[in-house]
Amino acid sequence: MRILDYDYCVVGSGLAGLLSALHLGKSGSVLVVTKKGGADSNTNYAQGGIASVMAAQDSFEAHVADTLEAGAGLCDEDVVRDIVAAGPQAVAELEALGISFAHRNEEEGGGYDLGKEGGHSERRVLHAGDITGREIEAVLLERIREVPNVTLREEAMAIDLITTGWLAYRGVDTGEAGQDGSRCVGIYLLDRTTGEILAVRAPRVVLSSGGGGKVYLYTSNPDVATGDGLAMAWRAGLPIKNMEFIQFHPTCLYHPEAKSFLVSEAVRGEGAKLVDGNEQEFMQRYDKRGALASRDIVARAIDEEMKLTGAPCVYLDIRHQPRAFLEERFPNIFAACLGFGIDMSKDLIPVVPAAHYFCGGVEAKVNGETAMPGLYACGEVTCTGLHGANRLASNSLLEAVVCARRMADHLVATPAPDFDMPPISDWEYGDAVPSDEAIVVEHNWNEVRTCMWDYVGIVRTDKRLERAARRIGNLHHEIYQYYMEYLVNADILELRNIAAVAELIIRSAQLRRESRGLHSTLDCSEVGSGRVDTIITDPPGGDTRLAG
């Protein structure tokens, strides 16, 4: 087993990971690991943009108020105020890197072309058409390749964190590194191209691996979103917070050939209405803001309409806007819909909700600190307190930029740990053999995702959660046995992780005895009083690896 030594190891190549690496590369050697190509991330799929107060009629107080309202009483207000106030600086930082946001022409008064999305009281979403995430990702990848201290290793999948607790369990003398409790000192990697196991030894590891939408059968996320960082952190003993709050984006394109294609909330910001099969608007019955209510409300309304009517979808109607406007404002969405035979200027757009964003995650501060020395985290993998029980649209990119900068500044200003890095124990294959049961992995993969969609979706009940807990618990045990018996590959690693994340979501949902934000249960319809978080620290059932 080869051992690679770096000052920092960053897991993930989305906005949070790449920005972290850019900042950290000024003070030491950085390895960025990503399990597919550098551009394979949730950031690359972000259509809407980044929320920030930029207009004269807007204010930080208004942005804070909108965020707190969307978060349904579960946001950390100090965190919200901190991140919102850093918005303009975050925008300036992205622009300094070469990212261009759309502007209005002179006839329209000039300035930023700010979009408005659900839950926002003002136009404050900066965008690059409807491919904001793709533009950001492309520019950051260019910048990363210009930094000599940063190495981007693609097709490298993180398996597990390496901690002094794990090394001591394996009989390794961790020396001074292990004297202050369990510390993160690196990660094990699988080279997806060669099948080789590698170890990265680094005194500071950054998790920026995104969320896990692929835990659900229908999601707007790319195939890489299997919750790897969440699962690794949990196995290492990190507190995992508020995982019951899974945001379902209300409007994923409903078409048999449209895999995970999102129709941005910005379409509703430009006047699109949600209508049923009879072209009747229905959102006003659920919220006075209509189609621009917060995502939790809109997703539940669509879910209820589909159940009431038996229809497979609802529709977005933006036919009042001229074709030229739609082609200019939403070039990617317009072209994609046209490819499926849907002309946005003439036709209704069939949509359904789909799993989109994790508001919970590894408990972390704005500066990236977690409960384990040596391990830092930023982006969707974390729970900082910004999003509460429901994320306000386009606050995710804002959080990623602000937290990546704060974390890098904190790490650079903090003296490096003063101890010799311990030796890393070899990866033990034992009696493991190559798998000849790929069908088992595929079957379990589908079973986990179907179970989560059927029983732990937009609206839940105690009985559904109990069924899900039993099924996922049994599957988790089976998957761990499979993991131990066969040589690891990317498929089994992802399956192991989605089973762990599924268990986290279910257990968190069972702990919350109320309906709040994205967690809606028919058995506890009332919202409780006060701010109560759900935190899970004990290891996943079935997977008995001692990591922490």
Per residue in 133-142, pLDDT (tens digit) is: 888 988 999 9
Q: One of 295, 405, 406, 496 is an active-site residue; which one?
A: 295
At residue 417 the predicted structure's pLDDT band, cuts being 50, 70 and 90, is confident
d(CA 20, CA 34) in angstroms, rounded, equals: 14
At residue 416 the predicted structure's pLDDT band, cuts being 50, 70 and 90, is confident
- The answer to whether the CB of 40 falls within 8 A of the CB of 222 is yes
Whose structure tokens read 């997806």? 192
Q: Any catalytic annotation for residue 123?
A: no
d(CA 426, CA 412) in angstroms, rounded, equals: 31
**Beta strand residue intervals within 225-325, DSSP E:** 240-241, 246-253, 273-275, 314-317
Between 295 and 387, name the one with better pLDDT: 387
Question: pLDDT value at position 47?
Answer: 66
Write down all domains in the chain, each with its CATH number in brackets: 1-50+131-245+359-420 (3.50.50.60), 250-355 (3.90.700.10), 438-524 (1.20.58.100)
Question: pLDDT value at position 120?
Answer: 94
d(CA 347, CA 323) in angstroms, rounded, equals: 11
- Section 189-196 average pLDDT: 95
For 336-387, write each residue's pLDDT tens digit: 999 999 999 999 999 999 999 999 999 999 999 999 999 999 999 999 999 9
Q: Which two tokens mark 247? A: 């945001």
**Other residues' Cβ atoms within 10 Å of the Cβ of residue 129:** 20
For 85-120, write each residue's pLDDT tens digit: 999 999 999 999 999 999 988 777 789 999 998 899
Question: pLDDT value at position 108?
Answer: 75
pLDDT at 437 over 80: no
pLDDT at 436 over 80: no
At residue 547 the predicted structure's pLDDT band, cuts being 50, 70 and 90, is very low
**Beta strand residue intervals within 69-128, DSSP E:** 125-126
- Section 68-78 average pLDDT: 96
Q: Which two tokens mark 417? A: 């740990």
Q: Percent of the chain having pLDDT more than 90? A: 75
* Residue-averaged pLDDT of the chain: 92
